[in-house]
Amino acid sequence: MPVRRRRGWELCESEATPEGVFLRRRELLKAAAAGSILGPGLFSLPAWAAEEDPSAELYPAKQNPRYTLDRPLTAEKLATYYNNFYEFGSQKTIADEAQALQVRPWTIKIDGLVDKEMTVDLDDLLKKMTLEERLYRHRCVEAWSMAVPWSGFPMAAFVDFAKPLSSAKYVRMETFLDPKVAPGQKQVWYPWPYIEGVTIAEAGNELAFLVTGMYGKPVPKQDGAPLRLVLPWKYGFKSVKSIVRFSFTDKRPVSFWETVQGDEYGFWANVNPDVPHPRWSQATERVLGVDARRPTLKWNGYGEFVAHLYDGLEKERLFA
């Protein structure tokens, strides 16, 4: 039976490290890189700041103007230093720890109800996909939000590539499993690896986006390199990071957080200001980098794209 533990992303705001501290830390890193502070040996840059990515020349990708924002973009230094990635710790500052993850070579297994099971190298997959940039709102179940320029390709294009059988009703996704590089995975009370799932209809929706880049560069490890999902109308925990496996199935996948705490984190997890989390309100959100809260939008503002997916499912716990 899973142990009931408070997760870091359940911190109340008064307990969270102020954003200024994160930003200051990043500024220090930049200043150190520029050689303007401290001498050698006193302060060294993290190795990842200089690491080369073999797909770097694919960025920036052309922006798709169809997806517009109602707010300014979140500063890159905030979006890439305020993370949830439990494999590397339950605090927000896991960027340095996440650099232990080797993202090349990276292979992705496609199995289950498909024409032909296969394993594909990420860079080979990238050659078959057309990358684009999209500006999306990103809303965490903890009631904070960002606005991020993601780069990647529609999940629908990946589904076409995978050739599922007509009997496939869901896509189950799995993150890497390697406790040697991800110390969080040594915490045996969590059901590793991280699992998420969507229906085939959700996967085929135009908003569902497989992300390989961010802010015009390859996506950093702490944000889910080299391949993560982004579903902007759902709470962020559905957006599984560092995916190694896609399984097509006729059974509804049970996600990581659903296994840990099923009465708080359901399968659908659609953003809805009118349905509170059992322990806090979802009516408003803290926009990171801005000194104010703003009202949360139903479907995170993407109802015109996705509301129809849930017709007839009113009896489901759509928003938990």
Residues at the site binding ligand MTE, with contacts judged by CB under 6 A: 9, 83-87, 140, 175, 194, 223-224, 236-237, 239-242
Residue nearest to ligand MTE (CB): 236
Closest contact distance (angstroms) between CB of 244 and ligand MTE is 10
Min dist. Cβ of residue 68 to ligand MTE (A): 20
Distance CA 137, CA 306 (A): 15
Supply the minimum distance, in Å, between the C-beta of residue 96 and ligand MTE. 14
| Minimal distance, residue 258 CB to ligand MTE, in Å | 13
Residue recorded with tokens 């391949």: 227
Nearest to residue 121, comparing CAs of 106, 111, 101, 103? 106
- Tell the smallest beta-carbon distance from residue 69 to ligand MTE (Å): 16
Give the shortest CB-220-to-ligand MTE separation in angstroms: 9
E-strand stretches of the chain: 107-112, 118-121, 132-139, 144-154, 170-175, 195-199, 209-214, 217-218, 228-230, 243-249, 284-287, 293-295
Minimum CB distance to ligand MTE smaller for 21 or for 31: 21
| H helix intervals, 11-94 | 19-33, 76-79
Residue 32 or 95: the one with the smaller Cβ distance to ligand MTE is 95
Nearest approach in angstroms of CB 87 to ligand MTE is 6
Name the minimum Å distance from CB 84 to ligand MTE: 4
212 neighbors 194 (Cβ within 8 angstroms): no
Question: How many CB atoms lie under 10 A from the CB of residue 224?
Answer: 25
Cβ proximity to ligand MTE: between 32 and 299 the closer is 299
Complex with ligand MTE: residue 19 or 223, whichever CB lies closer = 223
CB crowding 192-203: b at 16 or more within 10 Å, else e: bbbbbbbbbebb
For residue 234, the cross-strand partners are 270
Sign of the Cα pseudo-torsion (31, 33, 39, 43, in order): positive
Residue nearer to ligand MTE on the CB measure, 43 or 280: 280
Q: Name the residue nearer to ligand MTE (CB basis): 113 or 243.
A: 243
Q: Which of 113/152 has CB closer to ligand MTE?
A: 152
Residues 69/134, Cβ–Cβ less than 8 Å: no
Which stretches within 83-189 are classed as H helix?
95-98, 122-128, 155-162
Omega before residue 105 within 30° of 0, cis: yes
Question: Among residues 9 and 153, whose Cβ is nearest to ligand MTE?
Answer: 9
